[in-house]
Every structure is written in structure tokens, then in C-alpha cells.
Amino acid sequence: MTTYREKLVVIGNGMAGISAVEQILKLTTKFDITVFGSEPHPNYNRIMLSYVLEGSKTIDDIVLNDLQWYQDNGITLHIGTTVTKIDEQAKEVVTADGVRVPYDKVLIATGSNSFILPVPGSDKEGVVGFRDIADCNQMLQAAKTYQKAAVIGGGLLGLEAAKGLVQLGMDVTVVHLMEDLMERQLDHQASSMLQAELERQGIKFKMGAQTAELLGDERVSGLRFADDSVLEAEFVVMAVGIKPNIAVAKESGIMVNRGIVVNDYMQTSMEGVYSVGECTEHRGTCYGLVAPLFEQGMILAKHICGVETAPYEGSVVSTKLKISGVDVFSTGEFIDGPGHMIIANKDEWKQTYKKILLREKVMVGAVLFGDISDSAELQKLIKQKAEMTDELYESLMGSGCCGGAGKKSTSVENMSNEEIVCGCNGVTKGTIVDVITNQGLTTIDEIKACTGATRSCGGCKPIVEQILQYVLGDGFKTAAKQGICGCTTMGRDEIVAEIKAKGLQTTKEVMNVLGWSQPEGCSKCRPAVNYYLGMIYPDSHEDEKESRFVNERMSANIQKDGTYTVIPRMYGGVTTPEELKKIADVSLKYDVKVVKVTGGQRLDLIGVKKEDLPKVWQELDMPSGYGYAKSLRTVKTCVGSQFCRFGTQDSMGMGALLERKFERLDLPAKFKMAVNGCPRNCAESCTKDIGIVGNDGGWEIFIGGNGGIKARLADSFCKVKTDEELIDICSAIIQHYRETGNYLERTSEWVERIGLEEIKAVIVDNMDSRKQLVNRIEFALQQVEDPWKKMLSDDKSRNRMFHRLEVSH
């Protein structure tokens, strides 16, 4: 006899709703769960969008639960689907396209929407919020085209958006109505220190400014303020606040105020319907920070599963901000007021600030800047309404000759096992100690994978590390060693050495023999190991397509709407009228949306449908520009001595020669070159992985440049007199980088890690070493050919590719 499973429908696929589902899955299997999400993505960490924006993480990096997780837990997921109503009489939820799904219980977790200022011009092109991946993608695209940006709102989200746009190379001004940044979380002193630090990092500020109008025709061109002053801006991010998304509750007749009104067990006014997260209003409060949302989810999960639980009584909120080394924390009351006793310490030399607020000796709030190592301890004490004592004062503020040194070593020991370490995911100290002790976990990544601690905002990572150190004792140093990812403790050099020593041939073999904790690896280590195998065995390793990123598998860059950008190769930035006509004909035939001239002197065909990719490549009959690959992307050139009156060397000819020579060869990361015919540097050699500048006596070679997120001027490497020597030096540099670079490590980072003089010693000073590197790269080059050219020349392969694309489409 089959046991009936209650139907739980979750409206919202964000952090709050899916965290509640995770808690439910730990307690029971009695629910048949269906999840609806309006975005076309699995559950991801919205807190980490600023890191995607600045380029330190990808969208894949911030996914919390991938599509496989839903399948593994028997959850039916509908992405890109919006629920519009809950039909109480029929006990069904109704989607925007008319689909009806029956329910026994419903959890509403629809989050919030960006608040867009209701000023004239707010609907213009180039005005976005900052709440989701779509917003993030718009900001990334804008940074490629436009220079001046304004971020309206000096709160947490606004500052993160501003820093990300500055990292992308934009000129950014934060416009804020108040005189202090983050005035809802910081006092005047901490706000001033934060603003000064962010100004040093390149962000401009216009404080006390009220936006009256957004200027421009179809697209925004600037902001006009209440005092009639004007700020030029080609792109505007609205980060002035959020509005609870209560649309489905309102349409369904559920009681709403600012948010969806719930009781202490997260029940709404409709029988069997619950609500958690930013859309929810509890005791008159809507929370916009992550920790309360998870606390609500834990109460909801226990209640819905029939497990005894204390009611939700609200949260003591705290804020942590970390952008580019800036650490800020506040919790509880933070503005001086009547009845407060203030304990404060400011260190201008170390740029730190600490303030604790007492009311009748009871700790009620705190602000930290620069050093937030006491944040967890202070949050606990304030939540417990602890009374300040001499001992606590000494521990928190330091005293005597030791200045409080050593206090951190005992703080973890004194924590109770029931104390929550990770407020975002409700993970206690006892849970972490248990998995370290009983499951043999030895790294923070393993603890994160097992318990969820550090997975969201990451603010609890220092305490988790302290617990790890406390439990492992003397074994901590060895055990805590981190590898190329969380699947292994082995670093790049160890893995390469073991592959060579043991003759390992495939990624599965590497992971099995070398003891990977995850037998199938992950999205970080699979591509890396595949690259190392190809570098070690250029003649025998069979490239593993499943280990490649999607852009590499498709030989085109996927765009946010699911179409692709095709980039034909133009050697040295030079093309012919015949090739241009071919590009135009193909673009018209396959309805290409945009043809864009790139910074690498090529043409991007943007908007190619997935199923058209093979036909587009076939009809172009041009090599791929590898704009998606970890290989040589472009060789930018000036017109050189062939045409320019200042040119001393044939830069176009040399650029095309180098591009033809090194294309298709796998490298640790994307790679760009430039060749100038004279020192005027029109091709911008100073920001390329290898930059070459011609002069009357020959060529000068520069290495390690980067014009992207982590900008770096290239270092002068050496001067050569002949074309032959130039090609040899370039070959040796690239091969040395292939053999010693970490996967995804750009040459700008590689040069700084290895050292310029060390690289010179191997290539410039040691002729024998250089010759060996050249021989090895020549051998590797003989083994590679353009995979699309090979596919298109072979009928069977082409038919297989067409079939594969049609099926996947």
C-alpha cells in the first residue's frame, strides 16, 4: 500500500524558500515538493552577486543547489514560471500561463523587488535595479560600452554595485540622499571611515543629493538634482531599497500590510499557507537581511513537520560588508542616544574602529570597522542581553601590556554546542564539532559541503576555522591544507607530478587514484585536470568535452537570452572584402541581431541560435576566433611599416604570423597578444599577456599585462634583433606558462607569483632551457587542429553534431 505524501508547493526558488526546504528534507520525507521560480536559474546565492559583478566569481560559482540536487531530492522544479494566485477553494496554485497544481500546504517565499524611485525618466533605457542575475548581466554588458555610471543609494547594495562597476573600469558616482553612507547600519564615525576608504579605491560620492529627474531621450544621459545641479551618467543603478513581493498573496486574498502578515509560526491568514523571507511581515517588521530569513525557515520547517519548536520572536539583525578589503559590522543599536554608555576605540594608524553601546550596563549594540574578528562574539552577547563586566571588557577591548592578545584562542572553547555559528544556515558549533570528529572532515570546504556553514555570506568563516583548529589541535596545519578545489588537498604541482609519476591518463583515473573526496570532481577541478593531462600528453590525451565549460563545448559564447556569439578569426585584425561579405551574408541569413567590432579587432556575430551554430560556421568557412577558450584569443596590431609613416617594423605581418602559429593551443587561461610597429603603442601592448613593440633595432617584448578587472602594466622582458629570435622567445614564454601556470591563472598573476627574474633566468639567460621549451611547444602544436574545421570536413562528425544540437535544443 502506497503511503500518501502531502503536496507542498513552494512559490519562490530563492535562498529563503529553498533553505526552508532543506530543513524540511532533514526532518521528514512525507512531502511531495514542487518549486516554482520566476528566474530561469536554480537556487543561487544572491548575496554573492557583487562578486560576480566584480569578476572574482562566475554565476556557476554562486549556485547553491544545482539542477541535479532537485532531482536527487525528488523535487519538481519549474524555472522561469511565475505563480499568480492561490485558489483556496480548489486548493491549487495557478501560474501565469494557466497551469494549476494541487496543494496541501503552500510556502510563499517570493522575496522582494528593487524599489525604483518614482521620478521622471526612471523608465529610460540604461536604468536598472540590483537584485538578480538579469540585473547583474545588464551591468556587465553596460560596462563594455559605457563609461560613466551613477549608483543611487549609499546602502549595502549600492556600495557593492558601485565597487563592482569600478572594477569593471567605469567612472562611478554614488548618489546618496543622506550625509552618511549606510546610515541604517553605521554611525557617523564608521560611515566616514568607510567613505574615505572607498574614495581611495576609486568610487566618487555625491552626498545629501535628492534625485529629481533622470535626463536623456530614450536612454539615460544624466541626473538632475533638487538643487538643479546635474551629473552626467550613461548608466544608472537604483539601489535605494526593496519592496516585499506580495503580489501573489494580495491576489489570493491573504492578509498583507507592507509584507505578507504571518504569526510566530510563519502562518498566513489562509489555512495551510505559510510565508518566509523578505516578502514576509512578522510583528510589523519586514527583514531585508539574510540571517532572519533562515531563522524563519527553521521555525517553519519544524512546525510544518510536526516537530516541537519555540515560536519565532523576531531577530537581532546584524550587517557585514566586505568589498575589496573593507570590513564593516554592526548589530543592534548603533547610534548614540539618551541613556547609552559608550565604549569606543579608534586607531587611525591601523584604520580600525570599535564601539559598544550599553544601556544600564547591558550590551545593546556594536559597530566595528577594519577588524571584525569580534563580530560573532558581540552578536551573541547582544542577543543574550549580556551585562558588561571587567572580564568581558578586557576580552573585547584589550588591556595591559598584552592589549588583549590571545583572547581569540579561548572564545571558541567557551562557546556552547547549541550556539549558532552560521546564522545564515542555522549551523551550530555542536554540528560543526560533530562532523569534524565523527566524519573526519579537515577543511572549511568539506564543512561547508556537509553542513552549509560559510556557504552564504561567508561571514562565519573565521569562526569555523577557529573551531576546526580547536578540534584538530596539532593536526590542524597539515589537515587544513587546501588543494585546487574542495575535492582534493593536492595543489597544482602535486597533481601534475603524480600524473607524470603514475602515468595517469584520464580525469576519472586521476580522481580515483589520487583519492578525490568527490569521485566525479566538480566544475573547478574537472577542467583543470583535463588541461593538465593535455599539457602533459599533447600527443595521446583525448580531450574530454564533458570537462569543458559550455562556451568551449559549443565553440561560441552563450548570452543571457540563450543565443550565442560567434567570433570568426581575423589574423592580426586583418580581413578582406570577401570575408566581410561572407560575414554579412551569414548574418542576414541567420537573423544575427548585432555585429559588433571588438577591442581585439574582430567582428562578433551576436544572437546566433544554438541549432544554427554548425551551419553558421560551415557557411562562414573561417577559423574560430576562440573568444570562448582558454587559449590565444587575439593578436592586436597597428598598421606598422606597411602603411604608417612612423612604423619601423611589419606589425601586421608579425601579428598574423604569431596568431596563426599559436591558435588552438590550450593554455591555463585566456591569452592576448599585441604587436606594435613603433613605440607609439597604438595596439596597446602594455596591457597584453605578451606585448611586442618594434623599433629600429628589432623588437622589445613585454609580458604579464592585463587590461581587465585586475589591471596591470606589462613588464619589459627582453629585446631581440631578429624575427626568428622573437618567435623563439614568444614560444618559450607560452610553453613555460603552460607548464607552470595554475589553471585559470592569467599571466599577470603568474609573473607576480613566479617572479620576472626567475622567468628570465629560464628563457633569456639559459639557451638550453629555452630550446627545450621551444621543442616541446612545437611538438604540442603539431597535435592540435581546429575542432570545428575537423567537424565540418567530416560528414559523420557533422551529422552527429547537428543531431546533438537538435536534441539538446
Owner of C-alpha cell 552577486: 49
CA gap 359, 342 in Å, rounded = 9
CATH 3.30.390.30: which residues of the chain?
318-479
Q: What pLDDT, on a 0 to 100 scale, did the predictor assign at position 803?
A: 42
CATH of the domain spanning 318-479, picked from 3.30.1360.30, 3.40.50.300, 3.40.47.10, 3.30.390.30: 3.30.390.30
Sign of the four-CA dihedral 644, 647, 648, 650: negative
Rounded distance between C-alpha atoms, residue 420 and residue 428, angstroms: 4
Residue 710's identity, in one-letter code, is K
Nearest Cα to Cα of residue 441 among 465, 408, 420, 460: 465
Q: Tabulate helix, strand, coil % of the chain (nearest 5).
A: 40, 25, 40
Instruction: Report the candidate in 243, 246, 284, 288 with the shortest Cα–Cα distance to residue 118.
Output: 243
Q: Which residues in 559-588 are b (16+ Cβ under 10 Å) and which e?
A: eeeebbbbbbbbbbbebeeebeebbeebbe
Hey, which CATH number is domain 127-240, 3.30.450.20, 3.40.50.300, 3.90.70.10, 3.50.50.60?
3.50.50.60
The whole-number pLDDT of residue 2 equals 60
Q: What is the pTM of this model?
A: 0.59
d(CA 351, CA 499): 47
- Cβ partners under 8 Å of residue 159, min gap 6: 151, 174, 181, 182, 194, 198, 203, 321, 323
Residue 594 pLDDT: 84
Q: Where in the chain is the domain with CATH 3.50.50.60?
A: 6-112+244-304, 127-240
**612: which DSSP letter?**
G
Please give the CATH topology (third level) of the domain spanning 6-112+244-304: FAD/NAD(P)-binding domain (3.50.50)
Residue ranges, the chain, pLDDT below 70: 1-2, 56, 320-325, 398-411, 423-426, 456-459, 474-482, 549-551, 554, 560-562, 709, 785-809
In whole angstroms, what separates CA 158 from the centre of its chain?
A: 17
- Residue 127's identity, in one-letter code, is V
Q: What is the DSSP-derived secondary structure letter of residue 267?
A: B
Whole-number Å distance between alpha carbons of 126 and 117: 14
Other C-beta atoms lying within 10 Å of the C-beta of residue 229: 11
* Long-range contacts of residues 429-438, Cβ cutoff 8 Å, at least 24 apart: 429/467, 432/464, 432/467, 432/468, 433/467, 433/471, 436/467, 436/468, 436/471, 436/472, 437/471
**Cα angle: 575, vertex 580, 582; to 5 degrees:** 125
CA distance 772 to 354: 58
| pLDDT score of 154 | 92
- How many other CB atoms sit within 10 Å of the CB of residue 657? 18
Residue 790, all three cell numbers: 575537423
> Cell numbers at residue 205, please?
560620492
Q: What is the CA radius of gyration of the chain?
A: 29
Parallel/antiparallel/unpaired status of strands 326-332 and 340-347: unpaired
Show Cβ contacts of residue 534 under 8 Å, excluding neighbours closer than 6 positions.
Answer: 541, 543, 666
359 DSSP assignment:
E
Helix/strand/coil (H, E, C) string of 420-485?
EEECCCCEEHHHHHHHHHHHCCCCHHHHHHHHCCCCCCCCCHHHHHHHHHHHHHHHHHHHCCCCCE
| CA separation, residue 396 to residues 150, 320, 431 (Å) | 39, 18, 26
CA distance 165 to 172: 7
Number of alpha helices (DSSP H) and beta strands (DSSP E) in the chain? 28, 38
Q: How far is CA 328 from CA 24, 181, 373, 454, in A?
A: 33, 12, 10, 18
d(CA 173, CA 141): 18
Q: Quote the CA–CA distance of 317 and 383 in Å, as a whole number.
A: 9
Half-sphere exposure of 183 (CA within 13 A, CB side): 11
Determine the pLDDT at residue 322. 61
Cα angle 189, 192, 197; round to 5: 130
Residue 267, Cβ neighbours under 10 Å: how many?
17
Buried b (16+ CB within 10 A) or exposed e, 396-431: bbeeeeeeeeebeeebbeebeeebbbbbbbbbbbeb
Contact 432, 419 (CB under 8 A): no
Nearest alpha-carbon partner for 356 in 373, 346, 343: 343
What's the CATH class of domain 630-785?
A: alpha beta
| Integer Cα distance of 532 and 499 in angstroms | 9
* 175-201: burial string, b at 16+ Cβ within 10 Å, e else: bbbeebbbbebbbebbbbbbbebbeee
Q: Are 607 and 591 in contact (CB under 8 A)?
A: yes
Q: Which residue has the cell 564543512?
A: 447
Q: 33: closest CA among 227, 411, 304?
A: 304
